[in-house]
Structure 1
Amino acid sequence: MVSSTSPRQIIDRKIRPLVETALADTRVVLIAGPRQAGKTTLAKQLSEIGRPYITLDDAGALSAARADPVGFVRGIERAVIDEIQRAPELMLAIKESVDRDDTPGRFLLTGSANIATAPTIADSLAGRMATISLLPFAQSEIQSTPGRLLDRLFAGEEPAVGGTVVFGHDLIDLVLQGGYPEALRRSTPARRTAWLEDYVGQILDRDVRDIANIDQINRLPRLLNVLAEHAGQLVNHSSFGAALGLSSVTAQKYVAILERLFLVRTVAPWSSNRLSRLIKTPKLHFLDSGLLAALRQDEAEVLNMDRTRFGALLESFVVSELFKLASWTKRRVSFSHYRTKDQDEVDVVIEDRRGRIIGIEVKASATVRPHDFRGLRQLQEAAGDRFVRGLVLHDHDRVTPFGEKLQAAPLSVLWSM
């Protein structure tokens, strides 16, 4: 069985070397990710004499920062400032400070909303700030494995099984747990679900107000539930809005807010001049499978009998794991999905800066058939020499070849390589 994380266990975060490197040559470093993903723990580990820790979750510090941001920053030589999205007005004061003193590593910031996407902040700190993502625990972090799958696949290696392979009932249990540290410390599914439900409530009640002024904030919990039932599907703002009596434009705005809070993520469609029948609509995913399961009220007993329902949950789990692997690789990659008007698809297309492509399809079943590679073969033909590897990840314990550069492989390769 899959075990929970010990309350006292400290798990090394794989982005830490990236943060330390950035602090050595960049004036401002922002660790961005959802609340309760471990940003504060990591930031405190990097605080030291001469770099004090300040949290804007403290009412006094927050009041001072909002009342006089320039005065708040003045006199700070170096500092860790936690939850910077609570006082975004500090960012301009930080810009002025680091323009006067451009010593690297002056400010280590954390943010539970993607403030780097705000135009005024992005423009003001251009060339001055490095942004590094920290998502909830990846399985390679939990299990202390290398987490080098993307690097190894792009290097031309074939998928390989190593260590203990997780499949069957254990795979469902692992997916249901997700990666939030606090949720993993709960010893039973009921306790994890209770924590995740409280977590969502707090995010929607407080953090939304820090980044947006919206008229119908009470609609967000219902919208999130609607999105949960559409996880792994094409984005349809008209449909999302209609379920809540919202316009398509309003629904799109609200989904963007949930994306800034790192609850959901949209994946753009892959495009090619060689193919004319591609769907050009993004897909929707949740960034934590445990949170998605709690919103959908999915339980292990039901999912063991209903593999179709497990499929949507499993796809978001895989996408999230791939995002985490990408967050610490030195290789710059982008993510998209492939779907044609004939419904042939590849769940994830990963492309590096040289234009080389890896395609990944996700199946909840133990059996994989040649037909399951239809989308991957189309992608392979369209990409030509740029195609590196095509994988169908599924609920199994062995790697099975299905043609040149095409294999079915266990889900466990996400963390065993």
Structure 2
Amino acid sequence: MRLSTMCNGRRPDARDQGERRYDEEAGRFLLTGSANLATIPTIADSLAGRMAVIPLLPFAQAEIRSSPGRMLDRLFAGEEPAVEGEVVLGKDMMNVVLAGGYPEALRRASVARRVSWLEDYVTLILDRDVRDIANIDQLDRLPRLLNILAEHAGQLINNSGFGSALGLSGVTAQKYIAILERLFLVKTLVPWSNNRLSRLVKTPKLHFIDTGLLAALREDELVRLSEDKTRFGALLESFVVSELMKLASWSERRMAFSHYRTKDRDEVDVVIEDRRGRIIGIEVKASATVKADDFRGLRQLQDAVGERFVRGLVLHDHDRITSFGERLQAAPLSTLWSM
């Protein structure tokens, strides 16, 4: 049985009735919503011990293409990266990134209709669902903040700068970003830390869950991105982070996501760590060419963790896998869904 309105906090009487039914008919109810129910106080309190939370992110490319989507599991199991199936390159990859993964958006017959759906979706979320998870006085600032964040996707979070642009304090901007994260619109990657390294940046990094939505907010389209690879690079990085999160979401292996960056600006875009402390590092490049210098951050990470380092990959716009040292390879972006 599906009960979406009962759990959204707008009908306390229905929620109370629901609690009794949950106890009497456990396992029969599917509660849906666009926010993380565990972060809504009235819901989290009343359903504590009664519910299991399953995040449903937009479709992964592995789901869209009916491929296994086991890259992370296979890498943690010690397998080498492999090119399996069709490799997506160039403008075809740009179109994949621009489309995103929202099912309803993907069903739209044209780019214009897809963008229109995405704009309507985010407007509805910000107008309606924010009230379920937080009481904020300046609700009208959220759409403007989201647009500012879109222009800073893939960058370190600057709460003071974001707040200043909207006449808000840095603390308030941080609170609003947390709300957007609870609505599954953005994702903050915490900085990776290690006692052996003293020059690590300790600032979180910002990404968007869906690059179709991100592109719509930034008014990005194929021609513009073809002429500006730097701009596409920021979009691509969020795409890879989102795809990796989706792969992790259906794995039985628990994984934590972070990013690595030093004060000298050496970095690894995504650091994935399992419960045994083993690490996979992923760097993202929008170009077809990869140089040894592109592995500098990955090598630093490898040196810092030693045998816990399972694999370091630079995912880029190419169709072959190239070795750059022990457990270090450049691999096609489509490895994300072909393995």
**TM-score, scaled relative to structure 1:** 0.78
Among 309, 312, 333, the alignment partner of 1:411 is 333
Task: Provide the residue aligned with 2:232 in structure 1.
Answer: 310
Matches within 5 A, 1:216-235: 216-235=138-157
| Residue 25 (structure 1) aligns with | none
In structure 2, the partner of 1:115 is 37
- Paired with 1:389 and 1:127, the residues of 2 have a C-alpha distance of 38
Partner amino acid for 2:15? Answer: P
Cross-structure match for 1:269? 191
One-letter code of the match for 1:69? Answer: R
2:205 pairs with 1:292: no
State the secondary structure of the residue aligned to 2:272.
strand
Distance in 2 of aligned mates of 1:318 and 1:302: 20
Deviation at 1:253, TM superposition (A): 1.2
Q: Distance in 1 between matches of 2:14 and 2:146?
A: 36
Q: Which residue of 1 aligns with 2:2?
A: 53
Deviations 1:278-310 (A, max 9, x none): 011110000000000000111101111110000
What is the aligned counterpart of 1:69 among 3, 6, 15? 15
Structure 1 206/125 Cα, relative in aligned 2: closer, same or farther at 3 Å? Answer: closer
Shift of 1:53: 3.2
Deviations for 1:183-209, whole angstroms, at most 9, x for unmatched residues?
Answer: 111122222111111111111111112
Match of 1:145 in 2: 67
Is there any run of 5+ residues in structure 2 with no aligned partner, and where?
Answer: none
1:31 aligns with: none
Gaps of 5+ in 1: 1-51, 74-93
Corresponding residue number in structure 1 for 2:129: 207
- Larger RCO (CA within 8 A; separation ≥ 6): 2
Q: Distance in 1 between matches of 2:242 and 2:96?
A: 13
Letter aligned with residue 377 of structure 1: R
How far 1:254 sits from its partner (Å)? 0.9
Q: Which amino acid aligns with 2:305?
A: A
TM-score normalised to the size of structure 2? Answer: 0.95
Distance 1:145 1:310, change over 3 A: same
Aligned residues: CA RMSD:
1.9
1:54 is displaced (CA, Å) by 3.6
CA–CA distance in structure 1, aligned partners of residues 14 and 56 of structure 2: 29
Task: Quote the offset at 1:97 in angstroms.
Answer: 5.5
Query: Is 1:236 aligned with 2:182?
Result: no
Paired residue secondary structure (2:207): strand
Q: Distance in 2 between matches of 1:416 and 1:106?
A: 35
Cα distance in 2 between the residues matched to 1:374 and 1:296? 31
The one-letter code sitting in structure 2 at the alignment partner of 1:173 is N
Match of 2:181 among 247, 250, 259: 259
**Deviation string, structure 1 residues 294-339 (Cα, Å, up to 9, x no partner):** 0011110111111000000000000000110011000000000000
- Quote the residue 1:186 is aligned against: 108
Aligned partner (choices 167, 174, 177) of residue 245 of structure 1: 167
1:22-57 deviation line (CA, Å, top 9, x unaligned): xxxxxxxxxxxxxxxxxxxxxxxxxxxxxx334419
1:361-372 to structure 2, matched below 5 A, reads 361-372=283-294
